[in-house]
Amino acid sequence: MGQAIAAYLHYLSIFLLFALLSIEHVQFKLPLDLRRARSLIITDIAYGICAGVVLLSGLARVLLYGKGLDYYLGNSLFHAKVGLFILVGLISVGPTFVFLNWRNSLKAGEVPQVSARQARLVITVIRVELLLLLAIPLLAVLMARGYGS
């Protein structure tokens, strides 16, 4: 039963992660308004929490319910998959800092000021994240079929 719950949480959190990032992509448009700025911060926080659930449920699957740690550590596709996940996490720090810097403006009831250059950068990072996230399930499918060992 634990194996099924861990797998379900892992898949569900992956879907939610992608959905939340897609929501950020759609919401981040200039000019910003207060409602969308607040929503972007909340969405980004949910995205971070969801990434943590992906990581924890993935660790549970590897350490408790999977094919054994030796299988995963000896699989190059597993390393690529984890590496992509870490890369997505690292580049997601950029938009998160942008959104967190809005807190003071929002507390004062002001719309955060975002330059066109900064907006393009945030959108580009979100698109790269989405693209990289799409590659991770492909690596997982290949790995599950014995490739990468």
- pLDDT digits 0-9 by tens, 15-31: 999 999 999 999 999 99
42-54 pLDDT tens trace: 999 999 999 999 9
Q: Report the predicted TM-score, pTM, of the whole model to 2 decimal places.
A: 0.91
Task: List the alpha helices (DSSP H) in the chain.
Answer: 2-27, 34-60, 69-73, 76-91, 93-100, 103-107, 116-144
Distance CA 30, CA 115 (A): 9
Distance CA 107, CA 76 (A): 47
H or E segment to which residue 33 belongs: none
pLDDT at 54: 96
pLDDT bracket for residue 68 (50, 70, 90): confident
pLDDT at 67: 81
